[in-house]
């Protein structure tokens, strides 16, 4: 049960004003964003407590989706991150109607230039190169810029003999760029192959959701593949598969734990333990 006395501590004080509804009944006006409901277990969570727990529900272990910058802050040592290709933005290669307007709106809303941030930094003192996808920008879809930034990060890792870590979060290829988007599957996979040939380590961290063309390319090519709990991982959607094969799929199909049991991934790791887990892997392979 939630400890209501905790909200009256000085550091947690928020003024709550009473307002009247249409019937004249007075109800407390709770500030927006103060509470968050877990969609899995239904528990009401205090937003500050949720932030302390790195956006995971203490009651049911649900991992809330987070942005790329938040994930970098949780993973990379403070003050060590150097971003690559920060100002690279997408064009409209097939003149898709409304695409440029959509991109501008998303850049203004999310303060991101694209659906991935790449760069280098330290994880508990261990040097690494990292790419973090962001589902807030067009559901993390992979267009030409996303593929180019990830490819450049991989090539930089190969050149400097560093480990590349990619956090995936994507709905797949970006339809607004047509064949240019699909080409990124081959380009990123080829870069991973060259990195592997030179003896470089590649770690994939699959987060919710990782689907479509990203799953069918670099996401599943890691030397070590980690996933967050209950992350949705797959190519086609469950309903599409069921309609195609005319069969009911097993419970938990395409979730991280199911894929672990079937040998598709190596480990399911809680977000709280992710940084330490990556540190140990980097130390072993340094």
- Whole-prediction pTM value? 0.87
User: Given this model, what pLDDT does residue 160 score?
Assistant: 97
What six digits make up the tokens of 74?
């949780």
User: Given this model, what pLDDT does residue 17 score?
Assistant: 44
Helix (H) / strand (E) element for 46: namely strand 44-46
Q: Which of 109, 118, 216 is nearest to 172 (CA)?
A: 216
10-residue mean pLDDT profile of the chain (286 residues): values are: 38 40 53 79 87 88 93 97 96 96 97 98 98 97 98 98 98 96 98 97 97 97 97 93 93 94 97 97 92
Q: Is 18 helix (H, G, I), strand (E, B) or coil?
A: strand
Distance CA 234, CA 220 (A): 10
| C-beta atoms surrounding 145 within 10 Å | 22
User: Given this model, what pLDDT does residue 53 score?
Assistant: 87
Instruction: Give the pairing type, strands 164-170 and 202-210.
Output: parallel
User: Given this model, what pLDDT does residue 60 score?
Assistant: 87
User: Given this model, what pLDDT does residue 20 score?
Assistant: 54
User: Given this model, what pLDDT does residue 34 score?
Assistant: 85
DSSP 90: -
Dihedral, 128, 129, 134, 139 alpha carbons, nearest 10: -130
User: Given this model, what pLDDT does residue 9 score?
Assistant: 38
Q: Which of 248, 238, 75 is nearest to 165 (CA)?
A: 75
């Amino acid at each position: 049960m939630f400890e209501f006395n905790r909200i009256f501590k000085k550091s947690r004080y928020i003024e709550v004003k009473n307002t009247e509804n249409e019937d004249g009944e007075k109800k407390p006006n709770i500030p927006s964003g103060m509470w968050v409901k877990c969609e899995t277990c239904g528990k009401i969570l205090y937003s500050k407590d949720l932030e302390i727990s790195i956006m995971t529900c203490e009651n049911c272990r649900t991992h809330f989706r987070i942005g790329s910058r938040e994930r970098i802050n949780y993973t990379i040592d403070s003050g060590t991150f150097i971003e690559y290709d920060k100002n690279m933005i997408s064009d409209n290669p097939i003149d898709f109607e409304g695409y440029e307007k959509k991109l501008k709106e998303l850049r203004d809303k999310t303060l991101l230039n694209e659906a991935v941030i790449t760069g280098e930094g330290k994880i508990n003192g261990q040097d690494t190169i990292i790419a973090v996808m962001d589902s807030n920008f067009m559901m993390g879809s992979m267009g030409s810029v996303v593929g180019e930034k990830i490819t450049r990060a991989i090539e930089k890792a190969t050149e400097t003999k560093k480990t590349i870590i990619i956090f995936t979060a994507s709905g797949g290829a970006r339809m607004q760029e047509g064949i240019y988007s699909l080409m990124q599957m081959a380009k990123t996979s080829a870069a991973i192959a060259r990195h592997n040939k030179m003896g470089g380590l590649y770690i994939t961290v699959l987060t919710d959701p990782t689907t479509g063309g990203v799953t069918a390319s670099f996401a599943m090519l890691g030397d070590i593949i980690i996933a967050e709990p209950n992350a949705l991982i797959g190519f086609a959607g469950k309903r599409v598969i069921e309609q195609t094969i005319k069969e009911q799929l097993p419970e938990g199909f395409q979730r991280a734990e199911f894929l672990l049991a079937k040998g598709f991934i190596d480990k399911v790791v809680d977000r709280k333990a992710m940084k330490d887990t990556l540190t140990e892997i980097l130390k072993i392979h340094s």
